[in-house]
Amino acid sequence: MLPQMFQITTLETKKHDETNLFGKFLLKPLPYGHGITIGNTLRRILLNDIYGTAITGVSIIGINSEFETIPGLREDVLEILLNLKQTILMSSTSQTCFAHLKIVGPRIITAKCINFPTGVEVLNPNLYIATLYSDRCIEMILKIEHGQGYKFYDQSLVNSKSPFLTVDGLFMPVRKVTYFINE
């Protein structure tokens, strides 16, 4: 008797919006007890071992600390950094590069307002960054790096002469994985 061939079947795919994609897959047949091993391994690989691109530093012209506020801007610097951290990027290069943002208000600032270098694409261009409610000009330089998983940046370990405020690197393109086993 020949063993059954292993199969991966796509059961369902959905696109909730530009960044939230859903997929449901069936892997069969598996020997008894292998489902949890394969499910946990795939989950760990998808969440931690895939390389991605993220904003890891932000230099805001005229600002030296993440605890400052910018006149004419609704959000404080810390809120802006947290919003920028949610930017989902795709890059054709693994080299560190820089993006630029220069806006004169009043205006709502979204990720599509950022001028990314060639080869870097923003996948959630409608991501809200901040609201500039006066005719003031705001200018930022964004440091973009390639990595894997989640990289925590401790501000105290960064060179104090660096113009960049650090942002935790959220490099993982896959944000959530769940698996179920049917016996």
- Secondary-structure breakdown of the chain: helix, strand, coil percentages, each rounded to the nearest 5: 15, 40, 45
The two tokens of residue 16 are 């909730």
| 41 phi/psi in degrees, rounded to 5 | -65, -45
pTM above 0.85, yes or no: no
pLDDT score of 3: 62
Determine the pLDDT at residue 108: 96
How many percent of the chain have pLDDT more than 70? 93
pLDDT value, residue 179: 87
pLDDT in tens, 60-108: 998 888 888 888 899 999 999 999 999 999 999 899 999 999 999 899 9
Task: List, for the chain, all residue ranges whose pLDDT scores fall below the cut of 70.
Answer: 1-3, 18-19, 154-161
